[in-house]
């Protein structure tokens, strides 16, 4: 049974914002839904004990200092403790308060249902037909100690529209971030979606995105997990039209006691479309990185091209990585591949670099960066690559200092 | 003149196996020495030990380089002190470009020596000049380190690295193996360009062939982990004709 502390909060249920029925449905399903545990297949790599034991009541509106944008001049859309703050944001014309449950996924596990139950002060981005919505940074500032944030964002790209979203999660409290995003990409539309987790070492994070892509549309997601104590992200992507392209790439950096978990489920409901996933993970100290990637190809989805690559690099003997690729193919004329490896730093390459005069710390950093390169190049945009590389460099430095101490 | 390199009674273990058994060798600045010998004699172990490979366990003896205890230095410090190892099997490093690798190496060495870093423009000028001399296409240097390079290209890449890093002591471990005659000539020119009054070159080779292009001052025969015979250039011919069995 669900921790009573979560069900006590009634404020959201009473909010008059058009999401009442959605919350009620979530509430009803929660009544019969247990917390996932390590024996729940989809949650075997993320231990939610802390979430169950500590009562993270939803955060109320609060003020916060907004960090400067990662990319200069990029407009910011700000969430504090899960609530969209128009007063702190540079809101474009196509953005409005979320007031309809159309296209929102309820989810079926307790964290997803709680995200639905506490969905409040959300944001809807509706980019009109043929419009380039530009690039926006969505800043999520973690709530106060012991509180939870359930930011809800709906993104709809009409035919031929395009948009780049850089979502970043910041803050340094023992709090729980539990955001959800619902994405619809119409014919020929294109969404690039970055999720950068820079939260502090004690923050808990469980997020998910439900994405539907129509014919000729493109959704390219990228997740960077650098912060957080327990970080989990699920991307559920359904390809509904031919010549669509979809994928979720990412880099996980799990140091000290961090646990990162990416779960993707790409469904090819229609044939003639491509999906690609390139995930790289670095685990150091007692860090733990996991990838569960499932690709489903429906019976009628012929000529599907689906590829998945996961590689993990363990920097210490105490670090761990898990990979669970799954292919569920019902069509017979498809090209599907997956590869997963877990290894250590290449000693020969390390020696080659140091024997040319490169100090061991720099040599290690070069090899680690090279290892992540396959995932980073998927960002294609130089500015975005640099932005992500800077965060990675920060993590690497912190890790080296931590390892030296 | 004092020795640039002075190896005394060096013994080295790799795993449980004793590979070098009291090897003694001295080189003066300006000299080119060649070490020949049958497979398993310990030639590559000697090269790797001098370069500071960490899984090689020095159990006895000493190595003095430029008056300094070489064995007390880590691999990267040895490189900065002027030691270069041309690898028998150059390593492929996907994700790291040759140019980035080489510039990082050069500036890292300069930093250790207390010299200022070279700018990107200066660096490119040096690389272009050295690459041209070794008939190495600049486009190849923009690619990942040795990835997709043929055997000959890898060896030429080693020579480009040597030319740019400009070491005092170059240890070339079978740099001639796997080269066709044109590549051998190009690589030999690279080695000869590095041959100066203030540098020394230690060639490790199986074949007489390289020594037709790079004339050594001294030839050593190595067997069972030590030098068993040393002599002038004519020793190479003798080995070629009679094999190692008689000599070693």
B7's tokens: 């190896």
Q: Residue A58 CB: number of other CB atoms within 10 A?
A: 23
- Angle value at C-alpha A226, between A245 and A384, nearest 5 degrees: 50
What pLDDT score does A1 carry? 43
Nearest to A355 among B55, B79, B106 (CB): B79
Q: What is the least distance, in Å, from the CA of B240 to any CA of chain A?
A: 32
Query: What is the arithmetic mean of pLDDT over B28-43?
Result: 94
How confident is residue B107, by pLDDT bands cut at 50, 70 and 90? very high
3-class DSSP assignment, residue B25: strand
What's the CA gap between A243 and A215, in Å, rounded? Answer: 6
Inter-axis angle of helices B151-165 and B120-133, nearest 10: 130
Q: Do A366 and B96 touch (CB under 8 A)?
A: yes
Q: Which of B47, B42, B3, B44 is nearest to B21 (CA)?
A: B42
Opening angle at CA A84, ends A83 and A88, nearest 5: 120
Q: How large is the angle between the packed helices A360-376 and B98-112, nearest 10 degrees? A: 160
Q: What is the mean pLDDT of residues A335-361?
A: 95
- Chain A CA closest to residue B49: A355
Residues of A in contact with B145 (CB under 8 A): 352
What's residue A12's pLDDT?
A: 64
Residue B80, pLDDT > 90, answer yes
In this model, does residue A144 exceed pLDDT 80?
A: yes
What is the number of structural domains in chain B?
A: 1
Q: How far is CA A128 from the centre of its chain?
A: 25
Count of CB atoms within 10 A of residue A19's CB?
Answer: 23
Residue B132 sits in a domain whose CATH number is 3.40.50.300
Distance of CA A126 to the CA centre of its chain: 21
Closest CA to A260 of A41, A106, A47, A4: A47
Q: What is the CA radius of gyration of chain A?
A: 21
pLDDT, residue A2, reads: 55
Encode A325-371 in three state secondary structure.
EEEEECCCCCEEEEEEEEEECCHHHHHHHHCCCCCHHHHHHHHHHHH
Q: Give the three-state DSSP class for A75.
A: strand
Q: Per-residue pLDDT for A308 more than 60?
A: yes
Across chain A, mean pLDDT equals: 92
Nearest to A356 among B54, B74, B79 (CB): B79
Please tell me which of the candidates B53, B96, B108 has its beta carbon nearest to residue A359: B108
The model's pLDDT over B164-212, given as tens digits with 9 standing for 90+, comes to 999 999 999 999 988 999 999 999 999 999 999 999 999 999 888 899 9
pLDDT of residue A34: 87
pLDDT band at A53 (very low <50, low <70, confident <90, very high): confident
For every residue of A222-267, which 3-state class applies, written as one string?
EEEECCCCEEEEEEEEEECCCCCEEEEEEEEEECCCCEEEEEEEEE
Provide the pLDDT confidence category of residue A62 given band limits of 50, 70 and 90: confident
Mutation pick from B105, B111, B112, B115 vs chain A, by most beta carbons of A within 10 Å, is: B105
What would the pLDDT profile of A325-337 be if each residue is shown by its tens digit?
999 999 999 999 9
Work out the average pLDDT over A269-291. Answer: 97
Q: Over pLDDT 90: what percentage of chain B?
A: 85
Contact B74 A360 (CB under 8 A): yes
- Across the strands, what pairs with A296? A267, A328
Helix axes A20-30, A110-117, angle to 10 degrees: 150
Beta-bridge mates of residue B218: B33
N- to C-terminal Cα distance for chain A? Answer: 43
Tokens of B14: 């790799």
For chain A, give the longest Cα–Cα distance.
67
A246-273: per-residue pLDDT in tens?
999 999 999 989 999 999 999 999 999 9
A3 pLDDT more than 60: no
State the residue range of the domain holding B32: 5-247
Choose, out of B87, B108, B159, the residue to mutate when testing the contact with A (most A CBs < 10 Å): B108
pLDDT digits (tens, 9 = 90+) for B109-160: 999 999 999 999 999 999 999 999 998 999 999 999 999 999 999 999 999 9
In chain A, count H helices and then E strands: 8, 22
Predicted local distance difference test score (pLDDT) of residue A10: 60
Q: What is the token pair recorded at B17?
A: 């196996």
ipTM of the complex: 0.96
User: How much is the average pLDDT of B29-55?
Assistant: 94
Backbone φ and ψ of A281, nearest 5° = -135, 140
């Amino acid at each position: 049974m669900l921790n009573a502390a979560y069900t006590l909060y009634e404020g959201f249920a009473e909010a008059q914002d058009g999401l009442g029925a959605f919350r009620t449905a979530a509430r009803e399903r929660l009544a019969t839904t247990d917390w996932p545990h390590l024996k729940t297949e989809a949650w075997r790599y993320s231990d939610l004990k802390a979430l169950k034991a500590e009562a993270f009541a939803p955060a109320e509106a609060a003020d916060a200092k907004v960090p400067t944008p990662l990319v200069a001049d990029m407009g910011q859309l700000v969430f504090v403790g899960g609530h969209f703050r128009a007063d702190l944001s540079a809101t474009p014309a196509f953005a409005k308060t979320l007031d309809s449950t159309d296209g929102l996924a309820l989810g079926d596990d307790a964290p997803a249902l709680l995200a639905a139950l506490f969905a409040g002060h959300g944001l809807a981005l509706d980019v009109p037909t043929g419009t380039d919505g530009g690039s926006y940074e969505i800043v999520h500032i973690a709530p106060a100690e012991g509180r939870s944030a359930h930011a809800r964002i709906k993104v709809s790209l009409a035919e031929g529209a395009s948009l780049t979203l850089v979502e970043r999660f910041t803050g340094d409290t023992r709090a729980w971030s539990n955001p959800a995003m619902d994405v619809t990409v119409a014919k020929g539309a294109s969404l690039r979606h970055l999720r950068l987790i820079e939260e502090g070492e004690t923050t808990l994070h469980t997020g998910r995105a439900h994405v539907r892509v129509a014919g000729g549309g493109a959704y390219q997601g990228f997740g960077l997990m650098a912060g957080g104590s327990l970080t989990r992200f699920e991307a559920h992507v359904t390809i509904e039209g031919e010549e669509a392209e979809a994928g979720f790439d990412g880099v996980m950096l799990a140091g000290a006691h961090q646990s990162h978990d990416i779960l993707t489920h790409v469904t090819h409901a229609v044939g003639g479309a491509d999906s690609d996933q390139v995930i790289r993970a670095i685990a150091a100290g007692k860090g733990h990185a996991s990838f569960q990637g499932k690709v489903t190809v429906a019976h009628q989805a012929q000529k599907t091209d689906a590829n998945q690559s996961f590689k993990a690099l363990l920097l210490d003997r105490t670090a761990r990585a898990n990979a669970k690729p799954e292919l569920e193919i019902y069509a017979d004329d498809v090209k599907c591949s997956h590869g997963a490896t877990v290894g250590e730093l290449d000693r020969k390459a390390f020696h080659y670099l140091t024997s040319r005069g490169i100090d061991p710390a720099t040599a290690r950093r070069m090899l680690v960066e090279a290892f992540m390169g396959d995932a980073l190049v998927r960002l294609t945009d130089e500015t975005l690559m640099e932005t992500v590389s800077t965060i990675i460099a920060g993590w690497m430095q912190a890790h080296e200092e931590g390892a030296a101490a | 003149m004092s020795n640039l390199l002075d190896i005394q009674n060096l013994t080295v273990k790799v795993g449980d196996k004793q590979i070098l058994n009291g090897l003694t060798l001295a080189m003066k600045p300006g000299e080119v020495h060649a070490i020949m010998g049958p497979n398993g004699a310990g030639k590559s172990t000697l090269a790797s030990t001098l370069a500071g490979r960490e899984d090689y366990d020095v159990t006895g003896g000493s190595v003095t380089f430029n008056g300094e205890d070489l064995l007390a230095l880590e691999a990267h410090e040895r490189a900065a002190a002027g030691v270069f190892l041309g690898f028998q099997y150059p390593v492929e490093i996907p994700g790291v470009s040759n140019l980035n690798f080489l510039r990082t190496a050069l500036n890292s060495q300069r930093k250790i020596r207390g010299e200022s870093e070279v700018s990107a423009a200066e660096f490119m000028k040096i690389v272009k000049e050295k690459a041209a001399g070794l008939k190495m296409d600049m486009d190849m240097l923009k690619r990942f380190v040795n990835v997709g390079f043929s055997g000959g290209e890898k060896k030429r890449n080693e020579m480009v690295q040597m030319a740019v890093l400009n070491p005092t002591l170059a240890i070339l471990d079978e740099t001639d193996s796997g080269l066709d005659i044109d590549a051998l000539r190009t690589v030999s020119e690279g080695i000869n360009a590095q041959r100066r009054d203030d540098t020394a070159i230690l060639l490790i080779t199986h074949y007489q062939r390289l020594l037709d292009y790079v004339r050594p001052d001294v030839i050593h025969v190595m067997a069972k982990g030590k030098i068993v015979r040393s002599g002038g250039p004519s020793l190479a011919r003798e080995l070629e004709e009679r094999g190692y069995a008689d000599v070693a």
